[in-house]
Homo-oligomer: A and B are copies of this chain.
């Protein structure tokens, strides 16, 4: 059977060891994956008007092995915002309400990876341990695959929520994907790497460099994390105070994630991370470890994770998954 319900997946949760804290995260992410992957698959069951080669590439990109971190943020945020005891607001229902948003966010993420990997961009051959989309198919198909996933993301989101929430959520996701966020961050990042910056050029001084990196990452990766959390909250009917708490979590979490990612690139190995490591250093790119050193980078990541966790007390329901995720993200090895 294709559809795995939240309850079924939860029922299969391994109990041995009683993992708690950050140790519980891999299992929690596995539950998200078994919930969301059939829904990603179903979102690609399109009419005969969809081009066959394009659809194959979209499936390849969207269902690639991955952590499903962004869908997890959507679903866990929704779950953390249901008012306990309110009618029609069990955790399972919270997931179901937010499922379309979770699919949409993963589509945006998958499209951005496909385009980032292109020869004209980062020129990567390997992604999540497999050939990148333009290697597995061809460059034109990879470009179109990204374009199609972006359009389908917005269509999926707007079709999954009541109109008023859909319109608000759409703006959130579009802004997070657009020239002021995801694409803008990527453009500035490339411009810095290629010496195209016509203004200040590469910044000098440690704190200036940190500020520069934060400005890139806040847009390039942070904005989509925050959008995921906001969308989960909106789907679950969160109020403004709760949305602000989720956003505060997202800000700190996003930065912690990025520092941890830089640390993995500096320290990790290719077999564990599934992508080529050390490429940042090869390119002479600014990263937290090169600017701050390894131990100061680690210290900041851990402090940010704690900051993220501290935001969660505002939320009405259990936010344990989000809490554990913040600790885990700075200790993971892939």
Q: Enumerate chain A interface residues (CB-CB to B < 8 A).
A: 46-47, 49-55, 58, 111-112, 115, 118, 120-121, 138-141, 143-144, 146-148, 150-152, 154-155, 158-159, 163-164, 166-168, 170-171, 174-175, 177-188, 190-191, 196, 198-199, 219
A48 to B47 Cα, complex, angstroms = 41
Cβ contact within 8 Å between A54 and B187: yes
Contact flag A187-B219 (CB < 8 Å), given A120-B143, A152-B178, A179-B148: no
A188 and B51 contacting across the interface, CB-CB below 8 Å: yes
What is the distance, in angstroms, from A118's C-beta to the closest C-beta of chain B? 6
Inter-chain contact A183/B147, CB cutoff 8 Å: yes
Tell me whether A199 and B52 are in contact (CB under 8 A). Answer: yes
Please give the distance in Å from A237's CB to the nearest CB on chain B. 16
Q: Which 10 A-B residue pairings sit nearest by Cβ, starting from the closest?
A: A155-B174, A51-B187, A120-B139, A151-B178, A54-B187, A148-B179, A163-B167, A49-B180, A148-B183, A151-B177
Residues of B within 8 A of A166 (CB): 163, 167, 170
Known interface pairs A53-B187, A144-B190, A151-B183; 16 further A-B residue pairs with C-beta atoms within 8 A, sorted by A's residue number:
A49-B219, A50-B179, A51-B188, A51-B191, A52-B191, A53-B196, A112-B147, A118-B143, A120-B138, A141-B187, A148-B183, A152-B179, A155-B174, A155-B178, A158-B171, A163-B164
